[in-house]
A and B are shown apart, each in its own frame.
Chain A
């Protein structure tokens, strides 16, 4: 009998798991709003996304207590995403304008800006307070 090279391959494929990461859910639920409500109630769970790599540059974090208001981040920002507030001598970062280049983190003399691994930022309103860091 002729040896079939595909048989071990087929057997291996049968045991393999799919490469797909079922990010929000495996299939489209009947209603998304109902699914999100049941997630909030703890009945269902959102399948976690693929873990971000180390040093991933996500949404910016700002520590306003260690900031000294030196405006170095504003000078170095290529997208004009950082605004200075003269009354409080602190900054405001517009995440919808940020290009996640991390140059402000490198230049900050007090090390008060950091990149988180938070990247699920989609909203219906671009002036959402989730997208303004101050």
Chain B
């Protein structure tokens, strides 16, 4: 599959909260403010998964959110990246033995980039986006060669 050249120029992000404590969500909003200004890279938050290239998932996936996260992931158009922000989504964090968890995010949907931190600093999230673009470029090279 050939990616359109505009795909790597500006990534639109859709944010899903799958049971997070709101700490990572606040850091994502802080990363979009003029202090860090990722809009100079074309990164912006959109309101619909159908418009988005990147899915930002925060929080451990609770039992109620499992099907919703899956549905949002399936609604996104084909070349897509999933970023997992925060410790909860990678291992469960402080909720590791909760009765209500359906495992970390990678047991529900495939994850491309992990951003550890509780909550991660805005620069750590931007560094995760850099890793995601680097992964996309590597995949594109493999597909074209």
Contacts and interface: CB of A to CB of B under 8 A. Distances in A.
Contact of A94 (B91, B94, B106): B91
Contacts of A101: 118
A123 B131 contact: yes
Nearest to B40: A27
B19 interface: no
A126 B121 contact: no
Interface string B102-137: 000010000011111110110111111011011101
B131 A122 contact: yes
Interface stretch (A7-15, A16-24, A64-72): A16-24
A32 B8 CA distance: 10
Contacts of B41: 27-28
A93 B106 CA distance: 21
A13 to B, nearest CB: 14
Nearest to A120: B127
B137 to A, nearest CB: 5
Nearest to B31: A23
B74 interface: no
Contacts, number: 109
Contacts of B90: 96-97, 126
Interface residues of B, number: 39
A79 B117 contact: no
A33 interface: yes
Contacts of B116: 95-96, 98, 121-122, 126, 131
> How many A residues are at the interface, by size bracket?
35 or more
A128 to B, nearest CB: 9
A7 B96 CA distance: 58
A97 B123 contact: no
B37 interface: yes
Given A23-B126, A32-B137, A96-B87, 6 more contacts: A19-B34, A27-B41, A81-B91, A100-B118, A119-B123, A126-B90
Interface of B: 9, 34-37, 40-42, 87, 90-94, 96-97, 106, 112-118, 120-121, 123-128, 130-131, 133-135, 137-138
